[in-house]
Structure 1
Amino acid sequence: METEIELKFFVSSDFSRQIRDKITDLKVLQQRQKNLGNIYYDTPDFLLRRHDIGLRVRRYDDVYVQTLKTAGRVVAGLHQRPEYNAELDSPVPDLSLIPAGAWPDGLDVNALSQRINPLFSTDFERQQWLLAMPDSSQVELAFDSGEVTTDAGGYDPICEVELELKSGQTDALFVLARELAENGGLRLGNLSKAARGYRLATGYEGDPVKPLTMVDVNDRLSVEQSFVHALEHALEHWHYHEQIYVERPEQEAIFEICNAVSLIRQALVLFGGLIPRRASALLRQELQWLEGELSWVYEARAIERLLDDKGYFLRKLSTQKPLMAKLKARYEALPERAEVLELLHASRYCNLLLDLSRWILTRGWQPFLDDKAREKLAEPLRQFANRSLAQSWEELLSVFALGNELDRFGYLDQQPRLIRNLMSGCCVAALYDVEERESFRLPWLDLQQGIEDIQLLEPVRQLAEDEEFDEEERQQIAKWLGRKEESLLHAMMQSRQMGLNLEPYWDE
C-alpha cells in the first residue's frame, strides 16, 4: 500500500506555459509526456462509490495498471488517500490482486468481481516534471489536459495541475504551490477525475447549498484534536460551496463561504487562550481581508429577499414600484459573477487556502506553545468545552439580559457577539445531548434571524431619503418601517425571554 499525498488545482488550458516559467530555477530530475487512458469500474448500484472507493485500470504504452483508492482525507485541495496498485495483462480488473485488508469489513469480494462493469473513462495527455526542491524533497508536477466521457455521451473537459510528494516533507508541496499561484489563474480542487466521472454517470444536476452544521467532536478527542476538527470542518464547507458557485450563480453559496470563514475565525478565538495570537496573525489578517471582499453578500441577500415574489414584502407601500426599481439598480451595482470568479482564482485567495491547509497539516501553532499550553491542548475536550461555553454564555448575558433595552442600533451592534456565541457552540456542542442542545440554541437562532430581518429594512431606510420621493411618501415609508421594526423588536424580546429561561445544556 502507498499513501498518495497531492495538491490538485483546476487551471486554464494554457497554464503549462506558466509552469515552465516557474520551474526554471528548480532542478528538473526527470521530464516526460504521455497519453493516459483510464477506465473506472463499479457495480450498477455504485457499491464502490458508496464506500468511497475508486477502482480504475490505467493504460499507458502497453502496460495496464489496476489502482484501488480507498477513503482518505481532503483538506483545502490536499488529497491523502491510500492506494493499491498491481500490473495487469488487460484492461479487465483482477480483484484478487488487492489485499483483503483494503476492503471494508463484510464486503464479498468474489461477488463484487462478478458485478463490476466499466462506468466511465478519463483520457488525457500528461506533461510531467520530477522536481528537486530546495529542502531536498522531490515533488512530481503534472499538467493534465483531456476529457472525462461516458458511453452515453457524457463529457467533461480535464485541465488540471497536480503536485504529488514523492519524497521528503509535505511542506515542499505548499512551497511549490505558492510559486505556481503567484500570478493567479488556478483554483484548489477537491473534485477528483473519478468524482467528475461519477457525476456524468449518475446524471448529476448540482449539489444543494447546505447550512453550516455542528463540528463532529466527541469525548475521545483532545482539545487540540477538536480544534483541528473545527478548522477542517469549516474548510470542507468552504470548498463545497466554492465548487457550487463556480458551477452555477448561486449567491447563497457565497454566503455559506462567509459562514465557513466566520467559523474559522471563531475557532481561533475559542482556542486562543491556549494558542497565542501571533501563531495565527497572518491567517487572521488574510481572513479579515476575504471577509471584506465578500461583505457585499449580506446586502445582496437583503435585496434579494425584498425583491422576492415581485416585491411582496413591500406590497403595502404606494412607493413599491420605484423602490423596487432602485433596489434592482443597487443590486446590479454589486459585484458581478465574473468579479467573484476572478477573486476565487486570484493569487491571494489561493494562497490563503494553501496557508490554512499547511497550518493545519503541519500544526503550525506548535512552535509558539510552551509546555503548559501543550499540556492543556492534550487534555480531554469536555472540561474545556464546559468552561468555554460558560464564559461565552456570561458574555451573552451581559448584553441580552432582560434589563437591557435594545433598539435596532443595539441589536445590530451586538450581532457579532451573538454570532460568535453561536459559532462557539458549533465548535464543541456536539459533545452534548442533541435535544437539550437544540432546544437551548433555538431562541438565540431566532434572535439572530430577527437581527437579519432588521438588516433587511436597511436598504429601504437608505433609499427612503432619495429626493425622488416627496415628503408624504417619505412619511409613509417611515411609518411602514416603524411598524415593521416594532413587530420585530417585540418578537426578539420574546426570543430573549425564552432563551434566558432555559437551563444551559452544558451544565451537569
Structure 2
Amino acid sequence: MDTEIELKFLVSEHVISQLPALITQFSKKVSNKASRNLQNAYFDTPSRELRALDIGLRTRCVDGECEQTVKLAGKVVGGFHQRPEYNMPISSSRPNIALFDSTIWPAGIEPNAISSNLFSIFNTNFIRRTWLLETESGTEIELVLDKGDISVSGQSVPICEVEMELISGDRSELFELANKLISCSEVRLGLYSKAARGYRLADDMPLVADAFLGYVQLDETATQERALEKCLQYGIEFVQKHEQCYIDAPKLKTLKRIVDGVSLIRHSFWLFEQVADKQVTKSLRKELKWLLETFSWVETAIQLRMFTSKKHAFHKRISAAPELEQVIDKLKSEQPSRESLLAIFHSSRYNQLILDLTRFLIEKRWRESWDQEQVVAASKPVKEIAAKLFENDWQEMQHLLPHDVVSAESYIAKRQKLHRNLLSGCCLGQLFEGALRDEFRGPWLDIIHGMDELATYDYLKQLCESQQEPDRFKSILLWLGQKNDGLLAAMEHSRLASQKLEPYWQ
C-alpha cells in the first residue's frame, strides 16, 4: 500500500510554459521521466456502491501493460490529498478486485459480489509529464503535469492539472514548491479528483451550491482542538466547493456561500482562541478580512437583483418608478464583472490564503506557541464549552433585543452580533439534538434575513435622499417606508416566537 501525500492544482496553458523554469529554480537536481499517454477506465456498480464509500477503482494501460488501482477514502483539505492507494498488475483492462488483499476493504464490502457487477463508468485520457525533484536538504518531490480530458458518452471536460507528491523528506518543502507555483497566478487549488469530476459528468449531476451554511459534523466526545480542526476543514471545503460552483455557473447566491464559508473560518479562530493563540492566526485573519471586504457588496447585490426580478412582488412598483430603477441599474452596473471575479479566484493572493489555511490545519500550527494552559484547554470536551457559550449568547441577545418593538436601525446595528451567534451554532450546534436545534434557530434565521433586507431598504432610502432632486423620490421614499414597516412587523412576530422556544442546549 502507498499513501499519497500530494497537492493538486488546476492550471492554465500560461502556467505550463513556466513550469520548467520554476522547477529548475527550486531544485538542486531534476530528473525527467519520459512522457506517457495514460488511458484510464473507472469502474463501479450500477448503484455506485464504491462511490458511496468514497472508493475509486480504475484500470490503466500503458504500452500493453495494465494495472488496477483502488483508492480508499482518505483526507482532502484544500488542495492537499492524502488517501490509501493499492496497485496491482492485471492481464487485461478488466478489473478483478478479488485479487486485492481482503483486509483493505471497509466492513460490509463483498469484493466477489461487486466484481461481477462492475462496468466502466467513464474514461480519463491524458498525457503525463513527470519530474523528480531533489532539494538541497535531500527532500524528494514528484511533480506531474496531466493534460487531456475526462470523457463519457460523447461528452468531455478538460484536464489541465499539476500534482506534487512528497516522496521522501520534509513536507514543508512540498508547501514551499506550492507557494512558488501559486505565484504564477492562473492557478487554483484542486479540491476535486479526476474521479469525482468523472462521476459528476457520467451521472449528469453538476456541482450544486448549498442553500445555506450547514453544521460542522462533531461527536459528543470531541475536544476543543478536534472541534477547531473540524470547523476549519468544513470551512475550507465549503469555500472551495462554492468557488468551483461559481466558476461552473456564476450566481450571486453562490458568492454569498463563499462569504459564509470565509466567515465561518474567521469565526472559528475567535471561537477557539484558547487553543489557537491570536498571534498565531493574525496573518490568516488579516487575509480573511481582506476577502470578506472584497465581497462585501454581495448581499446588497442579491437584494437589488431580487427587487428587480420579474418574479418579485416589488418588480411592478420599481418599474413604475423610473427614477429608482435608474439608481438601481447604476448600482448594478458598478458591480464587479464576472471576469474580475474569476481573476480573484485565480489570483496569487486568494490561492495563497487557501494554501496557508490548508497548511495551518495539516501541520497543526497552533501548537507551535502552546503553553500549559492551552494544552489543557485543547483537551477539554467542547460540548461543555458550547452550552456555556450558547447560554451567554442567548442572554446577550435578550439584552440587545428586549421585550418591546425593535426599530430598523436597532436591528441593523445588531446584525453583525446576531450573525456571529448563528455562526457559533453552525460550528457547535451538531453537538445537540437536531429537531430542537433547528426549531430554535428557525426564527433567528428569519430575523437575520430580514436584517439584510432592512439594510437594503435603508441603503435605497439614502440613495434617493442623496439625489440632486430629492422631491422626485417622495413617493418612492413613502413606499420604502411602508415596506420597511411591514417587514419589521414580520420580524417582530419571529422575535416573539423565539421567546417561547426552549433553548436546545439546556
Give the shorter-chain TM-score range.
over 0.9
Relative to structure 1, is the Cα distance of residues 427 and 40 closer, same or farther in structure 2, using a 3 angstrom cutoff?
same
Corresponding letter in the other structure for 2:13: S
Would you say the 8 A contact 2:55–2:70 is kept in 1?
yes
Higher mean C-alpha deviation, range 347-356 or range 432-441: 432-441
Relative to structure 1, is the Cα distance of residues 390 and 135 closer, same or farther in structure 2, using a 3 angstrom cutoff?
farther
Corresponding letter in the other structure for 1:79: H
Structure 1 residue 205 displacement after superposition: 4.0
Counterpart Cα distance in 2 of 1:119 and 1:439: 42
Would you say the 8 A contact 2:299–2:452 is kept in 1?
no
Would you say the 8 A contact 1:135–1:172 is kept in 2?
no
Counterpart Cα distance in 1 of 2:445 and 2:31: 57
Between the two proteins, the alignment pairs up a number of residues equal to 504
Q: CA RMSD in A?
A: 2.0
Alignment of 1:76-155 (within 5 A): 76-150=78-152, 152-155=153-156
Would you say the 8 A contact 1:40–1:118 is kept in 2?
yes
Q: Deviation per CA, 1:100-159, whole angstroms, max 9, x where unpaired?
A: 122232222212222212222211111111112355322111111111122x21211110
Higher mean C-alpha deviation, range 341-350 or range 176-185: 176-185
Alignment of 1:266-281 (within 5 A): 266-281=267-282
Structure 1 residue 314 displacement after superposition: 4.8
Counterpart Cα distance in 1 of 2:305 and 2:255: 14
Structure 1 residue 3 displacement after superposition: 1.1
Relative to structure 1, is the Cα distance of residues 206 and 431 closer, same or farther in structure 2, using a 3 angstrom cutoff?
closer
Would you say the 8 A contact 1:139–1:164 is kept in 2?
yes
Question: Does residue 349 of structure 1 match 2:350?
Answer: yes
Corresponding letter in the other structure for 2:151: T
Would you say the 8 A contact 2:132–2:143 is kept in 1?
yes
Counterpart Cα distance in 2 of 1:136 and 1:380: 41
Q: TM-score, normalized by length of structure 1?
A: 0.94
Counterpart Cα distance in 1 of 2:452 and 2:470: 29
Counterpart Cα distance in 2 of 1:434 and 1:238: 24
1:303 maps to: 304
Counterpart Cα distance in 2 of 1:477 and 1:446: 26
Q: Deviation per CA, 1:187-246, whole angstroms, max 9, x where unpaired?
A: 011121112222222223442433110111111211110111111111121111111111
Structure 1 residue 393 displacement after superposition: 2.4
Relative to structure 1, is the Cα distance of residues 206 and 232 closer, same or farther in structure 2, using a 3 angstrom cutoff?
closer
Q: TM-score, normalized by length of structure 2?
A: 0.94
Gaps of 5+ in 2: none
Structure 1 residue 80 displacement after superposition: 1.2
2:493 maps to: 494
2:46 maps to: 44
Q: Deviation per CA, 1:24-83, whole angstroms, max 9, x where unpaired?
A: 221234211222121212223322222221111112234322100111121111111111
Counterpart Cα distance in 2 of 1:123 and 1:395: 58
Identity of aligned residues (%): 36
Higher mean C-alpha deviation, range 457-466 or range 379-388: 457-466
**Secondary structure of the structure 1 residue equivalent to 2:60:** strand
Question: Does residue 182 of structure 1 match 2:199?
Answer: no
2:224 maps to: 223
1:8 maps to: 8
1:24 maps to: 24
Would you say the 8 A contact 1:184–1:347 is kept in 2?
yes
**Secondary structure of the structure 1 residue equivalent to 2:122:** strand
Q: Deviation per CA, 1:339-375, whole angstroms, max 9, x where unpaired?
A: 0000000000000000001101111100121112111
2:416 maps to: 416
**Secondary structure of the structure 2 residue equivalent to 1:123:** strand
Question: Does residue 333 of structure 1 match 2:349?
Answer: no
Corresponding letter in the other structure for 2:487: L
Alignment of 1:116-265 (within 5 A): 116-150=118-152, 152-265=153-266
Question: Does residue 451 of structure 1 match 2:451?
Answer: yes
Q: Deviation per CA, 1:420-467, whole angstroms, max 9, x where unpaired?
A: 000011111111112221222222112112101202313431342364
2:502 maps to: 503
